[in-house]
Every structure is written in C-alpha cells, then in structure tokens.
C-alpha cells in the first residue's frame, strides 16, 4: 500500500494526460491514414480541454486539500506502447485503455471513506475522466462507421 498526496496524484495524472496528448498529436502528424488523422485531431483537442479542466480544478484547491494523503493499493500502471502503424481501431483501443487506467484510479479514490477537503475535486475528476472515456469511445465509433 502506497500513500500519495492529492497534489502528487494530480501531477501524475496531468503528466499522463500530457503523454497521451503528445502521442495522439504525434500520430496525427505521422499517419498515412486520413481516418486516424481526423480521429487524432479530434482527440488531441479533447485531451487538451480535459487537461485544462483538471488544471483549473487543481488551482481551486486549498493547500490542505492538495496535501491530503491517499492510500493507493497499486501504482499507476505504465502505458502500453502506441501501436505501430496504427489503424483507427488499434489506436483508439490503446487510448481508451490508457484513459481507463486514470478512470479506475479516480473511481477508487472517490470510493474511499475519508476524502476530506479533496472530496469534491476527486469526485469531479472521476466523473470528468469517465465521461471523457465514454466520449472518446463514441468518437472512435463514429470514425469506425466512416
């Protein structure tokens, strides 16, 4: 069991979102598939908006909330490598799995009993990540139907 502050958890989350954004953006630049390029452009924008929202949530937190310690059963798993020469299905599967790791982490945090002053922020981020994951899945389905 590992203990991390809310601030450290947010830093790790924002770092992971940055990695995802960079990977999606890179895929947009190097792909030879118009389908993946369109999907990557849409997802890059959504990831940037999600990152900005989490940054705003962080800015609203008191120092006490940011220093709140949480018990974590496991560290956040490493990202799987981006599929080589990804088609739209492999690429979105990779992205949804990566985002799913964050969703699971915040859902577990939100289920803890004593969230203290960070409770509202943890629940809001869990809700945002879950909604974004569903939005990505719908976006991916839309491109699959093209």
Cα–Cα distance measured from residue 90 to residue 96, given in angstroms and rounded to the nearest whole number: 10
Q: What is the pLDDT of residue 94?
A: 84
Q: What is the pLDDT of residue 29?
A: 77
Return the DSSP state at 118: G
Domain enclosing residue 42, as ranges: 2-144
List the CATH number of the domain containing 76.
Answer: 1.20.1260
Q: What is the pLDDT of residue 87?
A: 65
Q: What is the pLDDT of residue 143?
A: 65
List, for the chain, all residue ranges whose pLDDT scores fall below the cut of 50.
none
Helix residue spans in 1-146 (DSSP H): 6-30, 34-59, 63-66, 88-110, 119-144
- How many structural domains compose the chain? 1
Q: What is the pLDDT of residue 127?
A: 93
């Amino acid at each position: 069991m590992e203990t991390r502050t809310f601030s450290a958890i947010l830093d790790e989350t924002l770092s992971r979102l940055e990695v995802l954004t960079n990977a999606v953006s890179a895929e947009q630049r190097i792909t030879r598939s118009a389908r993946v390029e369109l999907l990557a452009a849409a997802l890059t924008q959504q990831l940037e908006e999600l990152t900005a929202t989490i940054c705003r949530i962080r800015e609203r937190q008191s120092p006490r909330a940011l220093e709140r310690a949480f018990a974590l059963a496991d560290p956040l798993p490493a990202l799987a490598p981006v599929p080589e020469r990804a088609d739209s299905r492999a690429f979105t599967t990779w992205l949804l799995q990566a985002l799913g790791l964050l969703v699971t982490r915040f859902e577990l945090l939100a289920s803890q009993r004593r969230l203290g002053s960070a409770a509202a922020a943890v629940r809001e981020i869990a809700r945002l990540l879950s909604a974004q994951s569903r939005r990505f899945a719908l976006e991916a389905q839309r491109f699959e139907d093209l």
